[in-house]
Chains A and B, each alone.
Chain A
Amino acid sequence: MLVPITVLLPVTAAVWIAAFGPGRRAAAVVSIAVTVATCMGCAVLAAVATFAPPSSIELTELVPPIGLVLRVDALGALFGLTVSLLYVPATLHAVGWLGNGPRRCAFLAVFLFCLGAMLLVAYAANLVTLLVGYELFSLVSVLLIIHRRTRRAFRAGFKYLVYVIPGGALALVGTVIVFFVADSVVFTPGGLTAMGQDDATLRLAWACLMFGFGVKAALFPLHGWVPDAHPAAPPPFSAILSGVMVATGVFAIVRVLYEIFGPVRLEALAVMPWLAVPAAIGVVVAGLLAVGEDELKRRLAYSTISQVGYATLAISLLEPGALTGALVHLANHAFIKGGLFFAVGAVAVHAGVHRVSELRGMGRRMPVTATLMTLLALALIGLPPLSGFIGKWLLVSGALQAGSGSALVVLLIGSVLAALYLWPVMRETWTPPPKPAPERCERRDGMLLAALLTGALVVLFGLGAALTGFPLALAGRAARLLAGGD
């Protein structure tokens, strides 16, 4: 019973906030309490999933014989925990960022609803349930992108919809084809067994699903909405967008590849290069674009496309070691990138700085934030012992295990580019300010606290990577399960 409660708790809170429009303090307390409670629920589910085999629970028969079914396996537990854990600092940041601003309740309600919908994706036991959650948060999150109601925000929101609605339609087409050929959409490690022999139909279904979910995963060349949506959205939502929403697309791709088609059939269909090559191109192209981008949030958005491209590339190798690496990398990237957006958001609000070239002297003006930003940037580059290193290490060794030299080269190029696009950020931050020095403008508020929390998590996940219940253990178990082990 814990699973549906965990999923429905944020949705219920969202409905309550939307319907009653509580005051500033009440809305803040409720939304923080709910995210913390949800996160605890997800932690318990993750602990259970580490040891026990998954059991499913049906909410309703949506399109008989397929129902809305929830189930917690290691993969879902890892993703659910990542999402809900990032939501705790994100909600803190949101409360701080919103302050007394307009449409507070609307923002928090939609924000919490997205948490519920993403958990539905994480704990979905079949493709239709996943699709429902996916479509819901895809469509609803446009409200967060246009929250500021500026011309730029509306334009970004429109662009986002132009990508997401056809993506959703294609994902539905793919799902219907899967159900038609296999008579089932239940996620089964190793792939659905009875899938017909018609390769053309299977390839079509695969392509539809990859297009559909690739839009969210910012897969090249479907990434066009990402660099526009991030700067337009409020910083707490940029963090969620980069940290976990993009990862949701990759998560759905993992589910489809490993639990609908199955590695064996995919090898036979010979379709994986069609995923690997765009992902590799994305890693390099987005990295290059990030190097040349001056606006901080856009630079980080391009970085997200590049970093998530690593994971997609590794997943497309269909090798358990690389899959483990991809999952760990996604989890760690969520906190690193989320934290960077928290820090950048604080800088934008308190210092009014939006561009890399304006960062000069930030080390003096906002020392704690600047330190955190540097720490997180180093983690993203992959400096040990921070958490980003773990994922990179596993990715590289996974590529070696799979014997894919080209993937290895792409990963290394991506890492070099990451250093190139993050180095100017650090350099400018710590360059002394021009005289007369501007005043210090750091404030101890929710935004700083959010950045501090994620910074702590990044260090913790780096130092204690091998502990039980941490991303690595869960990802390893998930990869074993997906490959058909224990």
Chain B
Amino acid sequence: MGAELFDLRPALAPLVSAVCAGLVMLVGYRPGWRAALAIAAAVLKFGIVWSMLPGALAGTVYAISFGEILPGLALAFRVDALGLFFALVSSTLWVAATVYALAYMRGHPGQQRFFGFFSLCVSTTVGIAFAENLLTLFVFYELLTVCTYPLLMHDGGLKARRAGRRYLVYTLTGGALILAGMLMIWHLAGTLSLADTGILGGIDDPVALATIFVLLAVGFGVKAAIMPLHAWLPAAMVAPVPVSALLHAVAVVKAGAFGLLRLIYNVFGVDLMRELGYADVLGAIAAATIVLASVIALRQHKLKALLAWSTISQLSYIVLAACLLTPAAALAAIIHLANQAFAKITLFFAAGAIERGTGATRIDELDGIGYRLPMVMVAFTIASLSFIGVPLLAGFITKWYLSLGALEAGAGFYVWVMAVSTLLNAAYWLPILYRAWFRRPGRYGTTARPVSLLMRVPTLICALYVVILGIGAEAPAMPFALAESAVRFAFGMLGVAP
């Protein structure tokens, strides 16, 4: 590991979008300013985060601290490989999501509030990614909950308010559990740093360790939508499409999954996790979630509901992979952060474009839609094939490493879980593709209105990225090498290929 370097950028990245968010709140009543500021927030942060990639690949760790807020506890940022990978994914998708949201929300009321909180969300997400210690992570994690709440119930209807309430109940409870776990760690280990591979090595009280694990796993598991903590996610479908994209692909669920990765790799550490065996239990729950959520997805009639259940299933890939505690599986866990994000955001963008263009929200209204919205449906096709695991698309890479990691861990059973998940994914994506491309256009297919290019282009770009992730993961400017170095760090294999 290279030098630790004091640098402003880790703090600057969340700050620019926070400042822009503030400005949107102030002067955002003018549409031009609002759009410019929202785009600026996304693009500036995108630039700052990506500018750290070459250094991080060379082994540099950028860090900055704002002094102690409690004795021994600093509000500090530190950009390691795992954090930067997450930040790269979310800040890249953010640009696409912002452009899309500007087009999608045109004409909606309350845009000033919407874009203000929208920009704040990504600011907090990058804060989570770059957090040096658990406390910083927790602060931004809770801020993310607060910022997404107004977005979630943007429509203001009864259903939206009810979904928002459910979301708050779930995530705030989760937050409280994290806080409790964090306090225990602080009490027992005397540090909350995430800079190392495990800080609990000195504790040999099994009850305390188990309590910490359960508290934090449940706390983060709420946002990662592990069953049975998932109920808020399908309910949250009432939100506008860009917000769903935000919840499902970029920020919220990813923050939960990222928290679990931090818990396993940085708080407990791989060695301790192996010794304790908690990961087996969590892994089994995740595997059950993968299959069950897919089975439920099979029975959905609404496109967005199907996407929600698919998200629950796909997120558990990350959790399962992390729980296998082998290098290949860890690689699967980290790159699936990106693979799931790009494919799922494509699907949400497509669902939004379909809703905008034709008013269709149910799956049986999608007959012949491929010929009405070809660009959007091509993107949709690519993304859904990626979830099935067709080679040369991103999903195949995840499946490969996850299966390999399961074998390495001596858990061959999970290879079969992967195979079953492939079949289930085929069983709910292919009928949609069949409807879209091979049925005669129904009522909804024929009344298509033009969909703004600003909605179609981000959709297609995200789909192209799914292809790029599937073919050229090793290309020079891709973050794959970053994932590899994160794995090497977590497993203490410096200089060895995973």
- Interface positions of A (Cβ within 8 A of B): 60-65, 128, 131-132, 135-136, 139, 146, 149, 154, 161, 165-166, 168-170, 172-173, 176-177, 179-180
Binds A, one of B124-132, B147-155, B347-355, B392-400: B392-400
Q: Which of B418-426, B443-451, B456-464 contacts A (4 or more CB under 8 A)?
A: B418-426
**Interfacial chain B residues near A135, Cβ < 8 Å:** 390-391
Contact call A60/B472, Cβ cutoff below 8 A: yes
Asked if B214 lies at the interface with its beta carbon under 8 angstroms from chain A, I say no
- The listed residue (A64, A172, A179) touching B399 by CB distance below 8 A is A172
- Selected from A65, A146, A165, A173, the residue in CB contact (under 8 A) with B415 is A173
With A62-B471, A176-B400 as given contacts, are A165 and B497 in contact (CB-CB < 8 Å)? no
Taking each of A128, A154, A165, which has the highest tally of chain B beta carbons within 10 Å of its own beta carbon?
A165
Contact between chains at B422 and A64 (CB < 8 Å): no
- B residues in contact with A131, CB < 8 Å: 391
A sample of 7 inter-chain contacts (CB < 8 A) reads A60-B472, A63-B473, A165-B388, A165-B426, A166-B423, A172-B403, A179-B404
The interface residues of chain B, by DSSP majority, are classed as: helix
Task: List the B residue with the shortest CB-CB distance to A142.
Answer: B430
Which residues of B are found within 8 Å of A166, using beta-carbon distances?
419, 423
Q: Which residue of A lies closest to B471 (CB)?
A: A60
Q: Which B residues are closer than 8 A to A by beta carbons? A: 385, 388-392, 396-397, 399-401, 403-404, 407-408, 415-416, 418-419, 422-423, 426, 430, 438, 471-475, 480, 484, 497
Nearest opposing residue in chain A for B484, CB measure = A64
- Asked if B391 and A136 sit within 8 Å, CB to CB, the answer is yes
- Note all chain B residues with C-beta closer than 8 A to A65: 497
List the A residue with the shortest CB-CB distance to B440: A149
Cα distance A60–B397 when bound, in Å? 13
- C-alpha spacing A172/B471, complex, angstroms: 17
| Interface pair A63/B397, CB less than 8 Å apart | yes
Which 8 A-B pairs rank lowest in CB-CB distance, beginning with the nearest? A61-B474, A132-B391, A180-B407, A176-B403, A169-B419, A169-B422, A63-B400, A165-B426
Given pairs A63-B397, A173-B419, 9 additional interface contacts (CB within 8 A)? A62-B471, A63-B396, A149-B438, A154-B438, A166-B423, A170-B419, A172-B389, A172-B422, A177-B415
B391 touches A180 (CB 8 A): no
Check A61 against B473 for contact (C-beta < 8 Å).
yes
Kindly list chain B residues whose C-beta atoms are within 8 Å of the C-beta of A128: 400
Closest to B430 in A: A161
A146 contacts B438, CB within 8 Å?
A: yes
Closest to A65 in B: B497
Q: Is the CB of A132 within 8 A of B392?
A: yes
Residues of A within 8 A of B471 (CB): 60, 62
Take A170-B419, A173-B415, A173-B416 as given contacts and tell me if A64 and B392 are in contact as well, using a CB distance cutoff of 8 Å: no
Q: How far is the CA of A65 from the CA of B475 in the complex (A)?
A: 13
Establish whether residues B419 and A64, one from each chain, have CB atoms under 8 Å apart when the complex forms.
Answer: no
Q: Indicate if the CB atoms of B473 and A136 lie closer than 8 Å.
A: no
Q: Taking CB as reference atom, which chain B residue is nearest A133?
A: B391
Residues in B with CB closer than 8 Å to A177 are: 407, 415
What is the bound-complex CA distance between A161 and B404, given in angstroms?
A: 26
User: When chains A and B are docked, how far (Å) is the Cα of A149 from the Cα of B422?
Assistant: 26
Instruction: Give the Cβ gap from B212 to chain A, nearest Cβ, in Å.
Output: 33
Are B390 and A139 in contact, CB atoms less than 8 angstroms apart?
Answer: yes
Complex CA distance for A426 and B326, rounded to whole angstroms: 63
Q: Which chain A positions have C-beta within 8 A of B423? A: 165-166, 169
Q: Determine the chain A residues whose CB is within 8 A of the CB of B396 once the complex forms.
A: 63
Could you tell me the distance between the alpha carbons of A132 and B472 in the complex, rounded to whole angstroms? 14
Contacts of A149 in B (CB 8 A): 438
Q: Which residues of A contact B389 (CB under 8 A)?
A: 169, 172
Question: How distant is B427 from chain A, measured CB to nearest CB, in Å?
Answer: 9
**How long is the Cα–Cα vector from A176 to B430 in the complex, in angstroms?**
25
Residue of A nearest to B427 (CB): A165
A61 contacts which chain B residues (CB < 8 A)?
A: 473-474
Residue of A nearest to B437 (CB): A143
Q: How far is the CB of B85 from the nearest CB of chain A, in Å?
A: 16
Query: Using Cβ atoms and an 8 Å threshold, which residues of chain A touch B397?
Result: 62-63
B392 touches A176 (CB 8 A): no
Known interface pairs A149-B438, A177-B407; A63-B401 also in contact (CB < 8 Å): yes
Chain A: which residue is nearest B475 at the CB level? A60
B404 touches A60 (CB 8 A): no
CB contacts (< 8 Å) of A180 on chain B: these are 404, 407-408
Closest residue to B422 on the A side, CB-wise? A169
Question: Nearest chain A CB to B428's CB is how many angstroms away?
Answer: 13
The answer on a CB contact under 8 Å between A64 and B497 is yes
